[in-house]
Structure 1
């Protein structure tokens, strides 16, 4: 029985070794590139333009939200100072007003953040779509078999991010 396992193990090792040699020979023919999408979203002119556009589009609403926050803070501090001297009925009324004001502020802030996130995703998707078209053009022009966008480590010799940025920014 031990002889059977030895022969079986040798055959298994031999088959695995032959498979690895075949895979290594095939891998030599593969051309693999990698792209750092975060870097593209940070450095591409299209991404920078989108960020500027969003800042312009939402700056007024952001200032309004900041103004509401300042008003709420001022009203709250005033209430804290005056609460001990106010009659019970007036204190209750002012407290309800503060709660209502805070609720309105929270609602507007939430709406602002949701609108901003939605628009940011739309703009980022535009950049990603354009980047993917450029990546495909680079891959076809330079005969890459695979282009990887997410990796833990990318050997710089396989990184084509600069070529994609050049294509996005109007270079060759």
Structure 2
């Protein structure tokens, strides 16, 4: 009986070793990579040019909003200083004007922010589309089975962001 136990144990051990060896062989064939979208948005030439384009497109409006806000603040400060010497009717009229100007300022600032966000999303979408093409190109060329973009932890040896950035910045998108 002792012989049968040893033989069964040896068979199980041998079978386990075979399964383990097979799993290691399959694991070596399966290639995983990781791409940092944050780095793509910060370092890719397409992302930088999109940012520059947005700054040029919206800088004039942004300056107008800033100037309008400064002028409104000056008017409010002047009103606060002069309010004690104004008649009740003048004070009410100036308050209404300030409230209307503030409402107009808030509306313009909100519209500016909405327009900026919409355009930023459009530009980022183009960057993402180009980056995804490059990721697919690198994955196919280097025989990756899986490329991840978001993860809690990634071993640096799996990070292919530099490869993707190199292709993206060389305009090697097909």
Q: TM-score range by the shorter chain?
A: 0.7 to 0.9
Determine the structure 2 residue equivalent to 1:106.
Answer: 106
Q: Shift in Å at residue 171 of structure 1?
A: 6.7
* CA distance in 2: counterparts of 1:166 and 1:55, whole angstroms: 25
Determine the structure 1 residue equivalent to 2:9.
Answer: none
Determine the structure 2 residue equivalent to 1:71.
Answer: 71
Determine the structure 2 residue equivalent to 1:151.
Answer: 151
Determine the structure 1 residue equivalent to 2:5.
Answer: none
The within-5 A match list for 1:16-165 is 21=20, 25-165=25-165
Q: Shift in Å at residue 152 of structure 1?
A: 1.5
Q: Shift in Å at residue 70 of structure 1?
A: 0.6
Q: Shift in Å at residue 91 of structure 1?
A: 0.2
**Secondary structure of residue in 2 paired with 1:33:** strand
Mark the CA change 1:33 to 1:71 in structure 2 (over 3 Å): closer, same or farther.
same
* CA distance in 1: counterparts of 2:171 and 2:122, whole angstroms: 25
Q: What TM-score comes out, normalization by structure 2 length? A: 0.84
Supply the RMSD in Å over aligned alpha carbons: 1.9
**Secondary structure of residue in 1 paired with 2:94:** helix
* CA distance in 1: counterparts of 2:43 and 2:170, whole angstroms: 13
Q: Shift in Å at residue 28 of structure 1?
A: 2.7
- Point out where structure 1 has 5 or more consecutive residues left out of the alignment: 1-16
Mark the CA change 1:127 to 1:38 in structure 2 (over 3 Å): closer, same or farther.
same
Answering whether residue 166 of structure 2 is matched by residue 166 of structure 1, we say: yes
Q: Shift in Å at residue 24 of structure 1?
A: 5.0
Q: What TM-score comes out, normalization by structure 1 length? A: 0.85
Mark the CA change 1:97 to 1:27 in structure 2 (over 3 Å): closer, same or farther.
same
